[in-house]
Structure 1
Amino acid sequence: MVRSFFEYADDDPARIAIVHTDGQQITYGELRDDANRIGNFLWDRGLAPGDTLACLLPNSYQLMAVVRGATQLPLYLTPVNWHLTAPEIAYVLGDSGAKVLFTAAPFVELAESAAAGAGLPPEAVVVLAVEPEGGASRLTGPVAAASAALPRDREAGNRMLYTSGTTGRPKGVRRPLRGISPAEAAGAALARARRYGADHEDGVFLGLAPMYHASPLAYADQALDVGHRVVLLDRWNRERVLEAIAEHGVTWLYLVPLMMQELVALSEDERAAHQVGSIRSIVHTAAPCPPHVKQAMIDWLGPVLVEIYGGTEGSATVITSEEWLTHVGSVGRPLPHVSLRILDEDRNEVPAGQVGTVYFKNEDFAFVYLGDPEKTAASRLDGHVTLGDLGRLDEDGYLYLSDRSVDLIISGGVNIYPAEIEHALLELAGVGDACVVGRPDEKWGESVHAVVVVDRPGTRDEVAASLDAELRTRIAGYKIPRSWAFTEALPRSAAGKLLRREVRESAAAPPR
């Protein structure tokens, strides 16, 4: 059976690969040719094996073509979060060593500003747009003039995504280039698709979450290796998603718990009115899913949910709906290539039922934090890494998360790291000290709450508004505190250590 994107493109070039956000359809043959043009363009630009390129692109055909074109070469591709400010993007470009930045409307001006801030020449920014059907290339710009023949020196590349941490500065999660062919890489994609019931050849994947995130992009790209049609939406919208499922006969999709909460908020009559019977698999990750929400999804759609626990650093466990129904609240058992350990504060293994820090070793996804050997070393033990989560194993080997890294804020499935916001606050005039924590939020799970020692004129609301406005020039909008508290001093230990737990406990109370 044919099982790779390039084989599908050669054997059935008229097969629909992408339904762009404006409804345009692009075939496997057209996507293959544009991917090859991008690959040849990158070699022509002087990139060499091991180099990095970046993309600042919306959910789009352009993004899918760049991913396919770049990852058939021994290069690193860094998708950039388009919510970031130009200085934040410039840091990622500089830290990653990106030599080319692909972009498209509406992010061209942002890309040009960020590239200039990173010291890249203007020609490093390459703007792409989608051409109507009938042209030689479905992409505009300099890549359209490149050869559509297979590029030289083909070898599977890797995506290198950025993840933040307690230091506040994001770091690239860099995996070694494996020295395998694109076809061999496709075999690994098929194995993953089997795991979550998405290996049917007549599949239709719905891409609805921002694809600068690891999972939404990975699943959309994997879908092409099993011959699926990938339908793209520019953003999450409950009604538009339900319409797209019915219109395109969507067979699988990726959701985060916040999206599922919106779906199950529909009344029984509203749910019955929507045509969702084509769905065979829903993969969910990113944040803990309230059990009642997951149960409601299963009651509505059947046992089609597959949950994966992990992070940008790699996946650790998986659980099907059938397993979850007999192990409610669990995030599953280790994947076949993963070893899992639960350790106490002294890094000794604890027995089943006892809570400790979760460590895992994913043999398929070895990595380092780019340029940060100290963070790399601190995150692991005997090859096992931790995301800072606390959990326990039951007698059957199922993992239950009881808590997670106390510093990390998960808002709507997005990881937000307090240190980065605190550092930005401390750069502002009049701010003497700052602590950022997560506050319980019924809709988002958590929202960002800042407690600040500040010396500025004005009322409380005026000071909060001025801090908000100045922060927006430094960090992305989703990181901006949604609530503020002002104090004369933050609680600290005798040694000067910030007592973040006390701040978090006070934040759980309603705003004053």
Structure 2
Amino acid sequence: MTELADWLVWSSRSKIDQSENVGDPLGFADQTQSNSNHLRGIKMLHEIRALIQRRSSFRIQPDGPTAIKTNVGASGGLLECVTSGSSGAPKIIRRSHRSWIASFEVNANLFDLSAGDTYAVFGSLAHSLSLYGVLEAVHIGADLCLLAGLRADRQLKALQKTPITTLYVTPTQIENLITVADENLRIESVKRIFIGGGALSTLLADKCKSIFPAADLSPFYGASETSFITMANSQSPEGSVGTAYRDVEISIREATGQVTNGIGEIWVRSPYLYIGYADPVASDTRHQDGFVTVGEFGSLDQAGNLFIKGRKSRMVTIADQNVFPDEIEQFLMTHYTAGPVAVVALPDDKRGHRLAVVVAGQAHQVDLDRALQLCRKTLGAHHSPKYTFFIKDLPQLASGKLDYNAIYAWIEDQQ
């Protein structure tokens, strides 16, 4: 008896009446027929493809797509999906099909993507990063491997046994794979890795290249509302999220709305912007003259490289200084090699807040102390965590990002 495969390989060129043998280059058809999760996945993918081909408006929900009627104008169909919820309650995003199709075609030209590729996504299709990867595969006629809901070791096995060429992942999902990978593992089939939903540290990028030696890493910065804003490559300076993606205009502005050469709010204008929210409306998201901001702060260097400080919603005051936990978290991820960390702000009667770092996995105290000392020396005392907690695994959202609400709740239980 052959082992039941946990994953599904689907061909976006298959016919609906061939669903039991869809995209079966590895002989998984007999196995998937006995797995209802696979069959539901196949049905969902066919429904999504049919809705796109009909240019219908639809919403992606955990159990599949649902056709919707809306008064919001969107030539060529409307799509509703959910934000990750990493910066607050998840919001339903509305965007036109055309806004994503425009970037599908840019990516196909930039990265030589074609129907000969096989994509893999790791998160729920209800969230925009994985959904984007799926729809891009459908648009270009590529094969697709769905790995959501699997343990990292099973995801890694799928990558070893399936000729996957293109990944859409978050840094946390990459970290999960690296944690369970044998140090000598090499997967040669993967040629392109698109990494969104958080900054990619140099150390994590090096580990990723070790496992996927033939892959070009393309970390990108954006939001559900904006889609692509910047894209980085091997030439991007450390700490940068790269330069503007094709046809994207970036403006850094002060609170008064004036453009600044220093740190300010990131405003974006491009063909890839969303139309609006279904409900609720995010207070940090604002529009002006065709530009939109989601309340994230950063700066541009003279070469146009964007450096992210963090979300306004996570910014805190420590001894009358504005501090971005996202910035400290990224710094520590760059200099602490033993595993992922999260930085959160805890209330403090004297200083307003104090920072805490939550370290996943087995503690490597010497490395951690060195990283914290370097953080204090480089960023300053108020930007260095005062408390340290150790946890087996950092909680994650279905989108593959860190679940800060769960992290705060866990810390409260420890005190």
- What TM-score do you get using the length of structure 1 for normalisation? 0.52
1:342 aligns with 2:259: no
Shift of 1:213: 1.1
Q: Output the CA distance in 2 between the equivalents of 1:255 and 1:369.
A: 24
Report if the CA contact (8 A) 1:76-1:159 is conserved: yes
Q: Give the total of aligned pairs.
A: 314
The residue type paired with residue 254 of structure 1 is Y
Correspondence list, 1:250-329, <5 A: 250-265=164-179, 270-272=182-184, 274-302=185-213, 304-324=216-236, 327-329=237-239
Structure 2 match to 1:29: 14
Q: Residue in 2 aligned with 1:161?
A: 81
Equivalent pairs: percent with the same residue? 18
Residue matched to 2:263: 355
Matched, 1:174 2:73: no
CA distance in 2, matches of 1:322, 1:362: 24
Contact 1:316/1:360 (<8 A) preserved: no
Structure 1 distance, partners of 2:161, 2:175, is: 22
How far has the Cα of 1:224 moved from its partner? 2.8
Q: For residues 232-291 of structure 1, give each alpha carbon's deviation from its aligned partner in whole angstroms, at most 9, with x where no partner exists.
A: 224243222222122111111112111222333467xx232x340111001111122333
- Cα contact 2:77–2:97 (8 A) shared by 1: yes
CA distance in 1, matches of 2:130, 2:217: 16
Shift of the alpha carbon at 1:401?
A: 0.5
Q: 2:288 aligned with 1:381, yes or no?
A: yes
Query: 1: distance between equivalents of 2:293 and 2:39?
Result: 31
CA distance in 2, matches of 1:177, 1:234: 24
The answer for the alignment partner of 1:399 in structure 2 is: 306
Matched, 1:224 2:138: yes
Instruction: Identify if the C-alpha distance between structure 1 residues 26 and 265 changes in structure 2 by more than 3 Å, giving closer, same or farther.
Output: closer
Counterpart for residue 460 of structure 1: none
1:194 aligned residue:
109
Q: Which is worse superposed, 385-394 or 400-409?
A: 400-409
The code of the aligned residue for 2:58 comes to: L
Question: What's the secondary structure of 2:312's corresponding residue?
Answer: coil
Structure 2 runs not aligned, ≥5 long: 20-36, 70-74, 316-324, 330-343, 345-353, 362-402
Name which of 49, 53, 70 aligns with 1:72. 53
Between structure 1 and structure 2, the one with the greater Rg is 1
Does the 8 A contact of 1:360 with 1:385 survive in 2? yes
In 1, are the aligned partners of 2:87 and 2:313 still within 8 Å (CA)?
no
Structure 2 SS opposite 1:250: coil
Could you say if the C-alpha distance between residues 165 and 226 of structure 1 is closer, same or farther in structure 2, counting changes exceeding 3 Å? closer
1:367 partner letter: I
Q: Does 1:330 align with 2:240?
A: yes
In 2, distance between residues paired with 1:250 and 1:59? 22
1:211 aligns with 2:196: no
Alignment partners' CA distance in 2, 1:363 and 1:347 = 22
C-alpha distance in structure 2 between counterparts of 1:97 and 1:198, whole Å: 32
Compute the displacement of 1:320 (Å). 4.1
Give the letter for the 1:395 counterpart.
Q
Distance verdict in 2 for CA 1:284–1:378, change over 3 Å? closer
Taking structure 2 as the reference length, what is the TM-score of the superposition? 0.63
The answer to whether the 8 Å contact 2:187/2:211 transfers is no
**Structure 1 stretch 255-264 or stretch 156-165: which is displaced more?**
156-165
Change beyond 3 A, Cα 1:32–1:386:
farther
CA distance in 2, matches of 1:59, 1:285: 27
Give the Cα–Cα distance (whole angstroms) in 2 for the partners of residues 402 and 289 of structure 1. 14
1:442 aligns with 2:359: yes
Let me know the Cα RMSD of the aligned residues.
4.3
Contact 2:165 2:191 in 1 (8 A): yes
Partner of 2:33: none
Unaligned 5+ runs, structure 1: 1-18, 35-55, 83-88, 100-154, 412-417, 419-436, 445-476, 487-510
Distance in 2 separating the partners of 1:376 and 1:33: 47
Distance 1:277 1:220 in 2: 22
Distance 1:24-1:297 versus aligned 2 partners, 3 A rule: closer
